[in-house]
């Protein structure tokens, strides 16, 4: 015996989705997708910034090693460009003084900056070193 579609009455659930259900579903899916893409983009930006700051710390460490091994030592007040990174600058300054075991000491800060615009700079890395004051 053969059956035709007209032999079975269609129930309300066999009709499929309504237009409103489809629009709501697409809206929800678009919202989830847009939110995911925005958070992924923000995450990638944070990763790039972290890598730049890590590189700046490595550059600062290398500079301190070079300055410490030179005759002049670490300058208490100096600044200049970093050749490997054209838009980066370094600067040293005395941020404090103390005496330990009757030895006068200076606390020198080495900072690495990135020039963003003509007048704007961003601090990438900063480290401090203790240096004995020459009598």
For the chain, percent helix, then strand, then coil, each to nearest 5?
A: 45, 35, 25
Question: What kind of architecture, by CATH, is found in domain 18-132?
Answer: 2-Layer Sandwich (3.30)
| Whether the model pTM is above 0.85 | no
Query: In this model, does residue 44 exceed pLDDT 90?
Result: yes
The mean pLDDT value of the chain amounts to 85
Q: Where are the domains of the chain?
A: 18-132
> For 78-94, how does the pLDDT look when each residue is reduced to its tens digit (9 = 90+)?
889 998 888 899 999 98
Q: Tell me the C-alpha distance between 8 and 91, whole Å.
A: 85
Contact (CB, 8 A) for 131 and 74:
yes
| Helix, strand, or coil (residue 99) | strand
In this predicted structure, what is the pLDDT of residue 1?
63
Task: Please give the residue that has the higher pLDDT: either 15 or 106.
Answer: 106
Overall average pLDDT of the 119-123 stretch:
85
**Residue-level pLDDT at 39:** 92
Residue 13 pLDDT > 60? no
- Which run of H or of E encompasses 117? none
- Output the pLDDT for position 25: 93
């Amino acid at each position: 015996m053969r059956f035709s579609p007209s032999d079975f009455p269609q129930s309300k659930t066999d009709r499929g989705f309504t237009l409103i259900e489809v629009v709501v579903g697409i809206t929800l899916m678009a919202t989830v997708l847009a939110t995911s893409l925005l958070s992924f983009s923000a995450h990638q930006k944070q990763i790039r910034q972290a890598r730049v700051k890590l590189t700046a710390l490595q550059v600062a460490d290398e500079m301190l090693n070079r300055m410490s091994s030179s005759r002049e030592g670490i300058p208490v007040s100096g600044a200049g460009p970093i050749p490997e990174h054209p838009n980066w600058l370094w600067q040293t300054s005395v941020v404090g003084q103390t005496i330990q075991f009757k030895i006068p000491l200076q606390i020198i800060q080495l900072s690495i900056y990135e020039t963003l615009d003509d007048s704007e700079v961003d601090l990438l890395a900063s480290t401090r070193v203790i240096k004995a004051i020459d009598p």
